[in-house]
Chains A and B, each alone.
Chain A
């Protein structure tokens, strides 16, 4: 009995870890950085957990996992509604509805469209899609314009009943003008080149091609309608068209901001360092407003080896997470010090360079006598390999018998080959992290990753989180 429990707990911890870090994108250590391996590996893991532990699989939706995996879980649950036991269906439905509601709209609409692509059309999926559309309220009109083709495909796939005007907008012949403002704007833009600048950027972009507007003219005039994310994404395109897009990166969330800063060249970072540091601090403060966190004396061991340059799909992501966590910990800890793998005077000037020597910075951190050490690393230690495991084994056996210093390893990289995150030591919990914003979740999950909490406790923890989420909505 005990063994079964242990296996179950390990499976689940492995799965949650994968769901915290992996998004099916290629990583630095994947062969040729392609993402097939990641996708196949993750997909298998989902099927395995769904087949064996359906209830826990559902509860994982509440564990603070990333959006990609939330969408994946909902999709798999809806596809296999038959195998859900009747008394659990209610909580399953509630969790799906709430999670879908909290997903960013592009992900939610994308998920519903996936249902069509996979030919999933059951009563539950239909009613969840209908409920999602009904609960959009005022935003529905705007999203109907922005995600027009998706909404149209979903509506026709599920045979949904839409309001007459919306239905006419999606499927009709537009014989007269619309009463809804944004629909009318779209109708005008469809016929007139000058009217497209009142629409959201992605919609206008398609119409600009239809009206044959030169790229440069279009980008210049549409600037006001672009979101910060879109502006960031289009830097290259704007550069090609020989123009500048003014961006306002301060408003980016912490990890994205860190990634943006790391994309600037060193000279620019050096010149604006005070300003940039201020942006980071403000962004970190915004997170803490929503999820307060208080820590004591904390040390961070941050990996900036060459492998933290990520892959072509996740450029510099591991390094970006390290920088963001550095900034976050600085604000929540009573005392804080960072130890980089290759020493660094100013974290803003971090570059992915050098080998992965984790043993020395961990030793330096232990010397400083903190209460908690947070290690951010992909776990591919090579100077020398396996040194940390050996170091900590002896440290906990001979020096710190009471385990006064707790160490947690946050790994931003999912290892597709063995479905796991690479560990640095069996004595230290390893938890996946995709965004520095998830740090509170990660720290809460720490004791389970260590193998300390029992399966029962883990179930209770997940159930509690699920109930919290349901109660909030």
Chain B
């Protein structure tokens, strides 16, 4: 049994100085040594997709692309066969129908091939949290939520194309030798991290960042944000010859790396909750969510780790503030067995203000109409 990921750490990766364009900062992650027995390739869908997940719920989404994982069991190098071969998903009225988020397939005689839907997998995990709704039939909840839980649960995302400057920033970005990943900042907020097992995969999938989904907050960060110009200085007192200058340059690189790691603290130092999705040979495909601390940006994502616990693949999605609030409220309710009054007390609030808060977070549909009206009335008194 592979261990579940507890924090995201960039072992084995060098954080190189960033490249800035408008509001976008791209931080290259350069591999110190990569393995040849794991490759990822892109498969374009560009269509609406319905996935029937393991517990018989249906997940509808617009899916720009999937990823195809190829690995070998004996450590032999595998070739990236390209993702387009062997796509056998069914079409129904212009909608692709898929079974499971991650599905093993037999492609071109290669049994070790797994198709999965990046970000959708993490998003499904996020939306599936507390999806069953109230465990006890409290009368405060609406009849619908008592019978069907949170269904249908909806979240909105934007595509990378609507973040201003992103397409240009990706075009002019200069990919390093052996680069396997990137940290993408929009207006100095970490929007996504993207790590792949192999430098060649990264070169092929670099543009994928443009069609990926992002939290809606990043639209505004792109519009109004600006990436700062960072400069590191050399202390001239300690320099006497060229060798000193060379070591000062090395130090400067290290400072860059430190500053940028610090900027991604919201992701790197955070405790995460992981869940295994699939075990492919020695590689474990997992999805995770950060601790829903409302003072930081929260992330959901998915990762592949190898038998040594090294990160081979990472893709994250920055939740917008309202998405975090929603998850936080649901988590609080769940902790108190969905008893509204207890939950309100734990948040130092009255029942009425908790109901109001849920309405603002688009969770009003869970509550009984009568309770909502009472809350409205109670709040009007003040």
Contacts and interface: CB of A to CB of B under 8 A. Distances in A.
Interface of A: 28-29, 31-32, 305-307, 342, 353-356, 359-360, 363, 366-367, 382-387, 390-391, 393-395, 397-399
B240 interface: yes
Interface string B1-41: 00000000000000011111000000010000000000000
B174 A356 contact: yes
Contact of A387 (B16, B176, B240, B252): B252
Given A354-B177, A384-B253, A363 B233 contact: no
A428 to B, nearest CB: 16
Contacts of B256: 384
Contact of B239 (A354, A386, A399): A399
Nearest to A355: B174
Given A307-B172, A307-B174, A390-B233, 7 more contacts: A355-B28, A382-B174, A390-B252, A391-B245, A394-B236, A398-B240, A399-B241
Interface stretch (B92-100, B130-138, B224-232, B298-306): B224-232
> Per DSSP, are chain A's interface residues mostly helix, strand or loop, or mixed?
helix
B175 A387 contact: no
B17 A382 contact: yes
B174 A398 contact: no
A374 B20 CA distance: 27
Contacts of B158: none
B242 interface: yes
Given A354-B175, A383-B17, A398 B246 contact: no
A417 to B, nearest CB: 12
Contact of B172 (A28, A342, A390): A28
A305 B175 CA distance: 9
A124 B320 CA distance: 67
Contacts of B19: 355, 382
A363 B176 contact: no
B345 interface: no
B232 A366 contact: no
19 contacts: A31-B168, A305-B174, A306-B173, A306-B174, A307-B172, A354-B176, A355-B175, A382-B18, A384-B252, A385-B229, A387-B249, A390-B233, A390-B252, A393-B234, A393-B236, A394-B234, A394-B245, A394-B248, A398-B240
A370 to B, nearest CB: 13
Contact of B249 (A31, A359, A398, A399): A359
Contacts of A307: 172, 174
A306 B242 contact: no
A28 to B, nearest CB: 7
A352 to B, nearest CB: 9
Contacts of A384: 17, 232, 252-253, 256
A230 B177 CA distance: 37
Given A354-B176, A355-B174, A398-B239, A383 B232 contact: no
- Please indicate which of the listed interface residues B168, B173, B176, B245 has the most CB atoms of chain A within 10 Å of its own CB: B245
Nearest to B257: A384
Contacts of B174: 305-307, 354-356, 382
A307 B233 CA distance: 26
Nearest to A385: B17
A363 B172 contact: no
Contact of A363 (B168, B240, B245): B245
Closest 10 CB pairs of A and B: A384-B17, A306-B174, A355-B174, A382-B19, A386-B231, A398-B239, A384-B256, A394-B236, A355-B176, A394-B234
A305 B19 CA distance: 13
B17 A366 contact: no
Given A354-B174, A384-B17, A399 B245 contact: yes
Given A355-B16, A385-B17, A390-B252, A366 B236 contact: no
Contacts of B168: 31-32
A385 B230 contact: yes
Interface string B34-50: 00000000000000000
Given A31-B168, A359-B249, A366 B242 contact: yes
A31 B177 CA distance: 25
A366 B243 CA distance: 11
A342 B18 CA distance: 18
Contacts of A391: 234, 245, 249
Interface in B237-268: 239-242, 245-246, 248-249, 252-253, 256
Interface string B141-158: 000000000000000000
B10 to A, nearest CB: 18
Contacts of B172: 28-29, 307
A363 B229 contact: no
A32 to B, nearest CB: 7
A367 B242 CA distance: 7
